[in-house]
């Protein structure tokens, strides 16, 4: 049961509370120290590149940002990007036994394939070409040993990035070859028959070519699961045995020379589907998905003058999806094949120019061309074709942003991007943000902006003849206003933020008839508001504790109903003890996600889960560890989607892994 408070009263209460909790009792003013170089980075530990497409100190970014460092990734033993994002305030992660999904501030709609979050690698958008999907699990094929840091930039980011940057931008910064040159090997083995091996090699020489290459292999049997919805003698009494496994291979390489940067990434993952999704034959090991997310990018940064930087990139993204779905009985089964492939060629030219001491102007243009987006669906034997469509589209965009220093203690950031898509009018995405430093340790931010998501090719082109009539989809539009304040007092850093997000023309997967047909429609108008608080204590490098609490309420404005899969409360406690001068390292976390509404109107149980890793260096080159997931063996599920017969999808029980890291000549 919830109590509604007028928006004005909420804003006033939040502002007063923030002032009382975080502001210093003595008046002070001032901004962080600046240099005569307009592009210089203030010498503080955390630097962000994803908020404004250029390096900035965390306190200066016109966004609410969380940074996950390589040290935290290693200390806690995060296996995937989704593992790491579980510990970011305001974010929650769900898993349907095939794919990993990330919700932001209470929003994660059934069937949206993570397309309201933009995933970037070193600033390059890598959402899939056919489904606009951001991938965060093993399907992404990104080895965490290759990651330098993860930047979670909350709020609308379309003013710089365009479509999909609706709720957040997750920017993954890859490890430079110069950080730890040499050979690295790591891996783990343990629960659910899982085994993984990784190796990388890097080299860096002054004035020469620096390179880093890494590859990995993963195999797992998966969990044996019980689904009461299939508890019948005809469906193995609801038990899915040996049908949850996966295999994955990944490769990533980077090279740097004379201001040029080359990155190439390739992967393939096979995942069996144990849930009987889309009405498939339950418990059949032939139900499986194959995914590849590949890219090649060449970029260059060049300082033309003391106040002018030019940045150029050209790239190819290629995504491949192939699904096998088995229908019928043991004696008369049919294998249906579903395919969705896409290729994208693009280029971006961006300049950062400082016309004076008070402004930094970012001006850019981007062109994306999809020469081939293909969807195909057919039965193998006997052959029957249901869908075969190929389309192409091009997108052009220009953007501008001005960071204007209003006074020594305040910076006003304003900008907009115009995206031109085929099929609808150009979309304008504006933003205006104010960052104010009331003291050298206290920073206030007022953030406003608009974002959009263009309909994905899968939503517009994936259509069966004889199904519901096609509808013309419009872009989703989202507007957010947020106030945030942060303060550092010695080893203690605190932050508090409040936000309100309104979304219109949200594209939802709707059940349209009694025969089970579904269709994407611009249906929902949602409103979300919430509060996020965090306190972090750092004793010394590598020793840190962090506690975050998030409360939110998200409703359908047309029906006034609560949205499904939208947790009201989200709490995270993370403790890291990994000093460089100690052989023992410990990273543990405890998180709680409140009950969520499912599609049938029931609720999941509140989930209290503990994850972590304990490791010990046997010598300077070798570290052994014990990784654990769901240490308390909490039994809970995530809400199912339209394709599932299950109301809830059970999550993994307690799982243990033995892990190792070998790095000859490590400086640790």
Q: Provide the residue ranges of all domains of the chain, joining segments of one domain with +.
A: 7-662
Among 6-20, 119-133, 289-303, 372-386, where is mean pLDDT lowest? 6-20
| DSSP-derived pairing of the beta strands 117-121 and 168-174 | parallel
| Distance between CA atoms of residues 595 and 608, nearest Å | 11
- Specify the 3-state DSSP secondary structure of 158: helix
SS3 31: coil
pLDDT band, very low/low/confident/very high, at 332 (cuts 50, 70, 90): confident
* Res. 519: pLDDT tops 90: no
**Residue 85 three-state SS:** helix
Q: Say yes or no to pLDDT of 409 above 50.
A: yes
E-strand stretches of 454-542: 476-489, 492-511, 518-540
Choose among 310, 227, 235, 234: nearest CA to 275.
227
Measured distance CA(267)–CA(316) in Å, rounded:
15
Q: How far apart are CA 433 and CA 16, in angstroms?
A: 20
Tell me which residue of 382, 390, 379, 383 sits closest to 340, measured CA to CA.
Answer: 390
pLDDT of residue 31: 46
Tell me the average pLDDT of the chain.
Answer: 89
Position 205 confidence tier, pLDDT thresholds 50, 70, 90:
confident
Q: For the stretch 618-637, what's the b/e string if a residue is b when 16 or more beta carbons lie within 10 angstroms of its beta carbon?
A: eeeeebebbbbbbeeebebb
Where is average pLDDT lowest: 44-53, 170-179, 269-278, 352-361? 44-53
- Of the two residues 332 and 295, the one the predictor is more confident about is 295
Give me the percent of the chain exceeding a pLDDT of 90.
75
How does residue 36 score in pLDDT terms, banded at 50, 70 and 90? very low
User: What is residue 8's predicted lDDT score, i.e. its pLDDT?
Assistant: 38
Alpha carbons 358 and 410: distance in angstroms, whole number: 11
- pLDDT-derived band of residue 515, with 50, 70 and 90 as boundaries? low
Asked if 409 contacts 420 with a C-beta cutoff of 8 angstroms, the reply is no
- Which tokens sit at 468? 């519901």
Please, what sign has the CA dihedral across residues 81, 87, 89, 93? positive
CA distance 402 to 517: 48
For residue 138, the tally of other CB atoms under 10 A from its CB is: 24
Task: Indicate whether 215 pLDDT > 50.
Answer: yes
Residue 290: both structure tokens together: 């194959």
Q: What percent of the chain has pLDDT over 70?
A: 91
Encoded tokens for 15 = 């502002």
Q: Tell me the mean pLDDT in the region 434-462.
A: 93
CA gap 373, 504 in Å, rounded: 27
Q: What is the pLDDT of residues 67-86, one digit of tens each?
A: 999 999 999 999 999 999 99
113 phi-psi bin (left φ>0, alpha ψ -120 to 50, beta other) = left
pLDDT at 162 over 70: yes
Categorize the per-residue pLDDT at 330 as very low, low, confident or very high, splitting at 50, 70 and 90. Answer: confident
What are phi and psi for residue 320, nearest 5 degrees?
-130, 130
Q: What residues contact residue 127 under an 8 Å CB cut-off, 6+ apart?
A: 114, 115, 118, 119, 133, 134, 164
What does the pLDDT average to over 222-226? 93
Taking residues 540-547, what's their average pLDDT?
90
CA atoms 55, 61, 62, 68: torsion sign: positive
123 neighbors 149 (Cβ within 8 angstroms): no
Helices (H) and strands (E) in the chain, counts: 5, 35
Predicted pLDDT at 113: 86
DSSP-assigned letters across all residues of 372-414: EEEEEEEETTTTEEEEEEEEEEEEEEEEEEEEEEEETTEEEEE
End-to-end CA distance of the chain: 51
pLDDT digits (tens, 9 = 90+) for 11-27: 333 333 433 333 333 33
Report the distance separating Cα 628 and Cα 593, nearest Å. Answer: 19
Q: What angle do CA 536, 540, 541 make, to 5 degrees?
A: 95
Q: Which one, of 552, 431, 527, 418, lies nearest residue 475 by Cα?
A: 418
What's the pLDDT score for residue 516? 64
pLDDT at 464: 73
> 3-class SS at 62?
coil
Q: Which of 207-211, 222-226, 379-383 has the lowest mean pLDDT?
A: 207-211
pLDDT value of residue 323: 96
pLDDT in tens, 242-298: 999 999 999 999 999 988 999 999 999 999 999 999 999 999 999 999 999 999 999
Name which residue leads in pLDDT, 567 or 557: 567
Pick the more confident residue, 11 or 583: 583
The per-residue pLDDT for range 292-325, each reduced to its tens digit, is: 999 999 999 999 888 999 999 999 999 999 999 9
Which has more pLDDT, 505 or 508? 505
pLDDT at 4 over 90: no
> What tokens appear for 67 in the block?
């940074």
The whole-number pLDDT of residue 82 equals 96
Mapping DSSP to helix (H, G, I), strand (E, B) and coil, where does residue 284 land?
A: coil
Decide if pLDDT at 214 tops 90: yes
- 495 and 485 in contact (C-beta within 8 Å)? yes
For 70, the 3-state DSSP assignment is helix
Provide the pLDDT for residue 635: 94
CATH of domain 7-662: 2.40.170.20
Those residues with Cβ within 8 angstroms of residue 239's Cβ, 6 or more apart along the chain or in another chain: 224, 225, 226, 283
| Per-residue model confidence (pLDDT) at position 45 | 53
Mean pLDDT to the nearest integer, 532-558: 92
How far is it, in rounded angstroms, from Cα 191 to Cα 151? 30
**Given a cut of 50, is residue 2 above it in pLDDT?**
no
Question: With 0-12 CB in 10 A as exposed, 13-18 as middle and 19+ as buried, what is 563?
Answer: buried
500 — pLDDT class (breaks 50, 70, 90): very high
């Amino acid at each position: 049961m919830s109590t509604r408070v007028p928006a004005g009263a909420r804003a006033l209460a939040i502002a007063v509370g923030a002032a009382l909790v975080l502001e210093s009792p003595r008046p002070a003013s001032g901004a962080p120290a600046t240099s005569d170089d307009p592009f210089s980075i203030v010498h503080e530990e955390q630097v962000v590149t994803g908020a404004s497409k250029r390096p900035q100190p965390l306190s200066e970014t016109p966004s609410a940002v969380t940074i996950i460092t390589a040290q935290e990734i290693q200390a806690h033993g995060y296996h995937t990007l989704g593992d790491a994002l579980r510990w970011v305030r305001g974010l929650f992660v769900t898993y349907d036994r095939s794919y990993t999904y990330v919700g932001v501030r209470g929003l994660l709609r059934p069937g949206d394939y993570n397309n309201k979050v933009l995933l970037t690698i070193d600033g390059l958008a890598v959402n899939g070409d056919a489904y606009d999907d951001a991938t965060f699990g093993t399907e992404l094929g990104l080895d965490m040993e290759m990651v330098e840091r993860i930047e979670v930039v909350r709020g609308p980011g379309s003013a710089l990035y365009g479509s999909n940057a609706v709720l957040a931008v997750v920017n993954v910064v890859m490890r430079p070859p110069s950080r730890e040159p040499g050979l690295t090997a790591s891996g783990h083995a343990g629960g659910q028959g899982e085994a993984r091996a990784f190796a990388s090699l890097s080299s860096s020489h002054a004035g020469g070519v620096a390179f880093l290459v890494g590859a990995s292999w993963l195999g797992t049997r998966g969990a044996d699961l019980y689904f009461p919805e299939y508890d019948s003698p005809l469906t193995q009494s609801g038990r899915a045995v040996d049908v949850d496994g996966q295999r994955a291979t990944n490769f990533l390489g980077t090279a740097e020379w004379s201001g040029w940067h080359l990155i190439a990434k390739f992967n393939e993952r096979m995942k069996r589907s144990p849930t009987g999704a889309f009405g498939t034959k339950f418990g059949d090991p032939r139900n499986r998905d194959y995914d590849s997310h590949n890219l090649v990018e060449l970029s260059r940064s060049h300082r033309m003058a003391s106040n002018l930087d030019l940045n150029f990139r050209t790239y190819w993204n290629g995504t491949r999806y192939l699904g096998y779905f088995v229908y019928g009985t043991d004696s008369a089964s049919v294998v249906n094949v579903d395919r969705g492939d896409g290729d994208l060629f693009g280029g971006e030219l961006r300049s950062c120019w400082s016309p004076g001491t008070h402004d930094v102007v970012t001006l850019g243009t981007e062109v994306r061309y999809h020469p081939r987006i293909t969807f195909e669906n057919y039965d193998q034997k006997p052959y029957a074709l249901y869908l075969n469509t190929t389309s192409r589209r091009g997108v052009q965009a220009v953007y501008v942003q001005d960071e204007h220093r209003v006074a020594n203690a305040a910076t006003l950031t304003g900008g907009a991007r115009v995206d031109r898509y085929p099929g609808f009018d150009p979309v304008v995405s504006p933003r205006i943000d104010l960052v104010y430093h009331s003291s050298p340790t206290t920073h206030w931010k007022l953030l406003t902006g608009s974002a959009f998501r263009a309909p994905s090719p899968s939503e517009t082109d994936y259509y069966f003849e004889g199904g519901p009539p096609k509808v013309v989809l419009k872009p989703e539009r989202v507007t957010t206003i947020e106030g945030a304040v942060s303060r550092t007092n010695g080893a203690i850093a605190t932050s508090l933020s409040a936000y309100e997000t309104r979304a219109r023309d949200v594209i939802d997967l709707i059940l349209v008839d009694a025969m089970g047909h579904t269709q994407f429609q611009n249906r929902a108008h949602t409103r979300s508001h919430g509060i996020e608080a965090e306190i972090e204590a750092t004793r010394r490098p590598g020793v840190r504790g962090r506690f975050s609490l998030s409360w939110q309420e998200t409703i359908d404005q047309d029906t006034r109903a609560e949205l499904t899969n939208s947790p009201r409360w989200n709490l995270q406690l993370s403790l890291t003890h990994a000093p460089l001068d100690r052989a023992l390292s410990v990273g543990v976390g405890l998180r709680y996600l409140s009950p969520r509404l499912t599609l049938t109107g029931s609720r999941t149980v509140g989930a209290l889960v503990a994850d972590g890793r304990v490791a010990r260096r046997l010598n300077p080159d070798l570290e052994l560890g014990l990784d654990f997931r769901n240490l308390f063996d909490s039994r809970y599920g995530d809400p199912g989607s339209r394709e599932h017969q299950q109301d809830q999808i059970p999550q993994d029980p307690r799982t243990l892994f033995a892990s190792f890291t070998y790095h000859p000549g490590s400086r640790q």
